[in-house]
């Protein structure tokens, strides 16, 4: 791995191969050390930003929005907020509310950063939920049910991926078709009936808590943590950003763009499988109409979280905050006894506002590019 | 039934009258003096040819005339009056139409809708479709293409047909001056004759044509007068197109003011074994039957114009395009066609032509762009080692003298030259044996160019083979050990670089065909 490098300085270039010594591994390690600790010139990067200062700033903005929502809640229902126990319980309620969509959104975030879109997530959750609650599957117990849900989700995601990568279908079309087809299959399997889950372990996932925190919240935390590591610390995550940010550059750098795209949809499907188990546990049942419009919630949360719809940029933390903001709004309206209709209107407004903010930033970015192009 | 007047030649057009006169036109962009004193005089009814190398300022000049750019100083006189066009629409209204190389047609609209795009005949807000179709038919007839139905979708037309539609659009504006930017570049050989017939029809009606082409033979056939640009200046104006010797034209285009500094070639032949062997590689319409070899430590240059198939050839060797026939071998082993992964695995690396769209993740940090092809090698169990990556990128940045030096900055904040260093630097990591460079110095300033040349030469000295494509002939001649000249998808000459000079190569790539000894 260690080899000599050519140098640009003309006076050194002529006798270069003799002069520049092979890089000493120890030296390299030392240099890495120095850089990893921020060096003298650069600013220190926050641990949660994923080396992306812009994303970190955006996430701070989202936390600000969240705080504003909490303050609004505290003002409108100061009676409730004066009770610390209630505040804690309510926070857990919000997180529980966010958990299922949150898991789906993690997968969706990967797909969108990778330059795609997955409209079929809600339908995959329904199909996986229905499949794992058939009488035949329930006979295998909780392990069989979980395995079935994850396998079905992964498999459907892979079908999406194959259609998009190798069938060259536009992601919008392929996953729209899957949305329709998967719900159809779910209705076929369940015979349009609600399938009750008799498995106490599965049902317990939603009702049980550990150290006072619902298991669902642990699952969300685990998926978010895994997603964050995957995106920011692995080659898979790096490829995702490359493939979404500039597929041609990724391809010409030797990255297998098609295979990676396929894996992204598989990952999204897998997240849907996990969400199916969680949702089935919550309802103690599954049916073909479950997880309705989850695709819109997940896309909206990712977009609000700063994921660029055209790909190449986004953070898991941002998406998580997007989901939590949404469930906080729902909660805010609920504790004030307001209608879901008003709630939806506010949510719509927030999506538009988030995209407008993104556009302003994007425009200044393209203007910057335009200026650069003129100089060349 | 009131019929609109036929589209006809402007009644007051007097053949031979000067319609356009540019005096000392200057246009600067940050860091670049794109036009630095241009003189141009165009008469009604003539075909005025603009000649110049890439970067001579032809494109900027066209954009000034088309109202895209406004000149910083100097005057543009249009039909006797000084004018400044605020925007392209204003130039159109004044009667100047521009047909760009990339035809700006809407593929999913009909021929008539394209011809009248933006100025559709209307009555009470409704498009007069019948009227529009009739006028389109008349214009097409005038262009000698009455066989194209106005209702036909433009998508279904071949390139030549689309060009006719572009001209129909120009005539629908009653243009008095039509600027054609390399119109023959998109045409097959036999279609060029038809283009010339149309141009003659237009000029016979008193319309002036500014014709831009790299092909001297075309300029001789269709042109009346020639103006030569070099480095943003007019170096010769109003030369007779037919009689001016090729040697004179070429010398006006070259003899550059900027001196490039090329590293010395090694005194002794240090090249090693054959690294890359390409045999009879063919892609229809792009290049055919190309064979070449690159040895370890050798720099092979390919000279050719845009459209000569050179970039396509490079991408096919790299596996980014799939060859229709022929083989690519690295170190004797045939590569799987159409697989970049196979090429990279065999030790190839490429710096593609379009840095921004093909090579860089502009919003990502420098170090991630440097390690884009190699980050997997530093990873353990799939976990990236960013510390190691930054250290490696730092090493590259040091050796390439990257400025600014902080590898965590987004790559978009770098200048063109430094961005190119990042792309080349990417392949200095890992075990690249063969580097493919497509226009490595496009948009790179003179200082950074010299540095890049040093890097390439130093790589070769280390035993890396280099295959270099450039439309700048001096660059190919100065940097390469061996040169291949490409024209219209074929290699027309191969020789050691020191046996060729700039005029010879320019003549070959432009098919001036005055040189002897060049295989056709």
Instruction: State mean pLDDT over B5-34.
Output: 70
Residue B512 contacts residue B217 (beta carbons within 8 Å):
yes
- Cross-chain Cβ contact A252/B320 below 8 Å: yes
Q: Is B64's pLDDT higher than 80?
A: yes
CATH class for domain B274-509? alpha beta
Residues of chain B in contact with residue A307, where contact means CB-CB under 8 angstroms, are none
Strand, coil or helix: B348 = strand
Domain ranges in chain B? 17-95+175-256, 100-174, 274-509
* pLDDT value at residue A197: 85
Give the burial string for B336-367 (b: 16+ CB within 10 Å, else e): ebebbebbbebbbbbbbbebbebbbbbbbbbb
How many CA atoms lie less than 13 Å away from B6 in the CB half-sphere? 9
* pLDDT value at residue A359: 63
Cis peptide before B16 (omega within 30 of 0): no
Q: Which of A142-146, B142-146, B179-183 has the lowest mean pLDDT?
A: B142-146
Residue A322 contacts residue A304 (beta carbons within 8 Å):
yes
Residues of chain B in contact with residue A54, where contact means CB-CB under 8 angstroms, are 363
Residue A360: other Cβ atoms inside 10 A = 10
Residue of A nearest to B266 (CA): A14
Instruction: State mean pLDDT over B161-187.
Output: 85
- B73 bridge partner residues: B26
B265: contact with A, CB 8 A cutoff: no
CA distance B450 to B448: 5
High-pLDDT (> 90) share of chain B, %: 19
Q: How far is A42 from chain B (nearest CA, A)?
A: 7
Strand, coil or helix: B3 = coil
Q: Which residue from A6, A32, A237 is facing B459, i.e. has the nearest CB?
A: A6
Residue of A nearest to B371 (CA): A253
Q: Which of A91-105, B10-24, B59-73, B106-120 has the highest mean pLDDT?
A: A91-105
B421: contact with A, CB 8 A cutoff: yes
B519: contact with A, CB 8 A cutoff: no
For chain A (length 376 residues), average pLDDT per consecutive 10?
44 36 38 36 41 66 86 87 87 92 96 94 95 85 91 96 93 94 93 86 86 92 95 91 91 91 96 95 90 91 88 91 91 85 84 73 52 39
High-pLDDT (> 70) share of chain B, %: 90
Q: Which residue from A31, A41, A248 is facing B358, i.e. has the nearest CB?
A: A248
Question: In angstroms, what CA-CA distances link A73 with A77, A90, A122, A318, A320?
Answer: 6, 11, 30, 22, 20
CA distance B488 to A289: 61
Provide the phi-psi class of A39: left if phi over 0, else alpha when psi is between -120 and 50, else beta: left
Sheet strand arrangement including B225-230: B96-99, B177-181, B208-212, B47-51, B225-230, B233-240
Q: Which of A213-227, B252-266, B281-295, B406-420 has the lowest mean pLDDT?
A: B252-266
Residue B217 contacts by C-beta under 8 Å, 6 or more apart in sequence?
A: B511, B512, B513
- Cross-chain Cβ contact B263/A10 below 8 Å: yes
* pLDDT value at residue A149: 94
Residue B31: other Cβ atoms inside 10 A = 11
* pLDDT value at residue A365: 52
CA distance A150 to A271: 8
Q: What does the mean pLDDT of chain B come to?
A: 83
One fold for B17-95+175-256 and B274-509: yes
Give the pairing of strands B177-181 and B208-212: parallel
Residues of chain A in contact with residue B318, where contact means CB-CB under 8 angstroms, are 252
CATH superfamily, domain at B17-95+175-256: P-loop containing nucleotide triphosphate hydrolases (3.40.50.300)
- The pLDDT tens digits of the residues spanning B446-500 come to 667 788 888 898 888 888 999 999 877 888 888 899 999 988 888 888 888 888 8
More confident residue, B14 or A4: B14
Q: Which residue from A13, A45, A245 is facing B363, i.e. has the nearest CB?
A: A245
Residue B286 contacts by C-beta under 8 Å, 6 or more apart in sequence?
A: B309, B312, B313, B316, B321, B489
A286 secondary structure, DSSP code: E
Q: How far is A60 from chain B (nearest CA, A)?
A: 20
**Cβ-based contacts under 8 A for chains A and B:** 168
CATH class for domain A55-335? mainly alpha
More confident residue, B257 or B422: B422
Give the pairing of strands B18-29 and B96-99: unpaired
Angle at the Cα of B342 (from A1 to B378), degrees rounded to 5? 30
How many CA atoms lie less than 13 Å away from A141 in the CB half-sphere? 1
In A208-339, which ranges are continuous DSSP H helix? Answer: 215-233, 235-245, 247-252, 257-283, 294-304, 316-335
A312: contact with B, CB 8 A cutoff: yes
B435: contact with A, CB 8 A cutoff: no
Instruction: State mean pLDDT over B60-85.
Output: 89
Residues of chain A in contact with residue B362, where contact means CB-CB under 8 angstroms, are 245-246, 369
* pLDDT value at residue A8: 44
């Amino acid at each position: 791995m260690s080899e000599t490098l050519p140098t640009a300085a003309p006076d050194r270039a002529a006798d270069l191969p003799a002069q520049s010594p092979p890089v000493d591994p120890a030296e390299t390690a030392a240099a890495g050390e120095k850089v990893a600790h921020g060096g003298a010139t650069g600013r220190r990067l926050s641990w949660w930003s994923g080396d992306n200062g812009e994303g970190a700033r955006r996430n701070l903005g989202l936390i600000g929005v969240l705080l504003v929502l909490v303050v609004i809640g505290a003002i409108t229902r100061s009676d409730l907020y004066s009770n610390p126990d209630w505040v804690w319980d309510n926070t857990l309620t919000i997180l529980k509310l966010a958990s299922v969509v949150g898991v789906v959104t993690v997968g969706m975030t990967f797909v969108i950063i990778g330059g795609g879109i997955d409209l079929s997530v809600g339908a995959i959750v329904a199909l996986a939920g229905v499949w794992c609650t058939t009488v035949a599957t329930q006979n295998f117990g909780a392990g069989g049910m979980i395995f079935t849900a994850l396998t079905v989700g992964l498999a459907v995601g892979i079908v999406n991926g194959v259609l998009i990568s190798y069938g060259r279908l536009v992601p919008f079309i392929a996953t729209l078709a899957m949305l329709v087809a998967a719900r159809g299959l779910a209705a076929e399997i369940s015979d349009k009936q609600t399938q009750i889950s008799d498995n106490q372990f599965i049902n317990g996932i939603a009702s049980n808590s550990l150290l006072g925190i619902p298991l669902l919240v642990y699952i969300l935390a685990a998926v978010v943590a895994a997603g964050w590591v995957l995106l920011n610390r692995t080659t898979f995550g790096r490829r995702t950003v490359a493939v979404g940010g500039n597929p041609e550059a990724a391809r010409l750098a030797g990255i297998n763009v098609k295979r990676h795209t396929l894996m992204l949809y598989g990952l999204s499907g897998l997240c849907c499988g996990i969400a199916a188990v969680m949702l089935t546990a919550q309802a103690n049942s599954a049916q073909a109409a479950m997880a309705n419009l989850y695709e819109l919630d997940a896309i909206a949360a990712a977009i609000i979280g700063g994921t660029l719809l055209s790909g190449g940029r986004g953070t898991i933390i941002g998406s998580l905050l997007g989901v939590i903001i949404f469930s906080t709004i729902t909660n805010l309206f609920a504790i004030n006894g307001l209608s879901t209709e008003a709630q939806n209107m506010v949510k719509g407004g927030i999506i538009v506002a988030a995209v407008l903010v993104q556009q302003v930033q994007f425009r200044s970015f393209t203007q910057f590019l335009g200026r650069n192009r003129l100089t060349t | 039934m009131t019929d609109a007047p036929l589209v006809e030649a402007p009644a007051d057009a007097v053949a031979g009258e000067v319609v356009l006169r540019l005096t000392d036109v200057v246009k600067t962009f940050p860091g670049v003096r794109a036009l630095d004193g241009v003189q141009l005089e165009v008469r009604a009814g003539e075909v005025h040819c603009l000649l110049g190398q890439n970067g001579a300022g032809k494109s900027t000049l066209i954009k000034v005339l088309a109202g895209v750019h406004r000149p910083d100083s100097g005057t543009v006189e249009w039909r006797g009056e000084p004018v400044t066009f605020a925007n392209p629409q204003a130039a159109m209204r004044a009667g100047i139409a521009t047909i760009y190389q990339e035809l700006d047609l809407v593929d999913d609209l009909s021929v008539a809708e394209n011809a009248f795009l933006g100025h559709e005949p209307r009555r009470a807000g409704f498009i007069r479709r019948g009227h529009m179709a009739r006028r389109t038919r008349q214009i097409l007839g005038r262009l000698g293409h009455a066989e194209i139905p106005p209702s036909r979708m433009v998508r279904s037309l071949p390139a030549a047909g689309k060009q006719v539609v572009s001209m129909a659009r120009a005539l629908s504006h009653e243009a008095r001056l039509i600027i054609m930017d390399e119109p023959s570049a998109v045409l097959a050989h036999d279609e060029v004759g038809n283009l010339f017939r149309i141009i003659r029809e237009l000029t016979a009606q008193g319309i002036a044509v500014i014709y831009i082409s790299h092909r001297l033979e075309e300029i001789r056939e269709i042109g009346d007068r020639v103006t030569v640009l070099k480095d943003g200046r007019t170096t010769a104006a109003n030369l007779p197109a037919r009689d001016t010797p090729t040697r004179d034209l070429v010398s006006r285009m070259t003899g550059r003011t900027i001196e490039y500094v090329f590293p010395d070639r090694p005194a002794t032949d240090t090249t090693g074994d054959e690294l890359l062997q390409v045999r009879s590689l063919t892609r229809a319409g792009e290049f055919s039957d190309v064979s070449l070899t690159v040895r370890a430590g050798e720099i092979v240059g390919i000279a050719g114009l845009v459209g000569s198939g050179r970039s396509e050839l490079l991408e096919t060797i790299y596996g980014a395009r799939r060859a229709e026939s022929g083989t690519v071998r690295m170190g004797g082993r045939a590569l799987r066609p159409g697989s970049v992964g196979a090429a990279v695995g065999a030790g190839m690396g490429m710096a593609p032509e379009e840095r921004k769209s093909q090579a860089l993740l502009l919003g990502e940090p420098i170090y991630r762009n440097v390690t884009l092809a190699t980050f997997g090698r530093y990873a353990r169990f799939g976990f990236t080692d960013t510390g190691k990556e930054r250290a490696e990128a730092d090493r590259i940045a040091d050796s390439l003298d990257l400025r600014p030096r902080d590898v965590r900055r987004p790559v978009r904040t770098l200048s063109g030259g430094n961005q190119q260093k990042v792309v080349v630097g990417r392949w200095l990591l890992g075990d690249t044996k063969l580097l493919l460079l497509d226009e490595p110095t496009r948009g790179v300033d003179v200082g950074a160019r010299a540095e890049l040349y040093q890097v390439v030469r130093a790589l070769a000295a280390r035993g890396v083979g280099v295959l270099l494509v450039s439309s700048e002939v001096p660059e190919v001649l100065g940097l390469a050990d061996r040169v291949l000249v490409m024209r219209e998808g074929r290699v027309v000459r191969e020789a050691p670089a020191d046996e060729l000079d700039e005029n010879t190569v320019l003549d070959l790539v432009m098919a001036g065909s005055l040189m002897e000894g060049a295989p056709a």
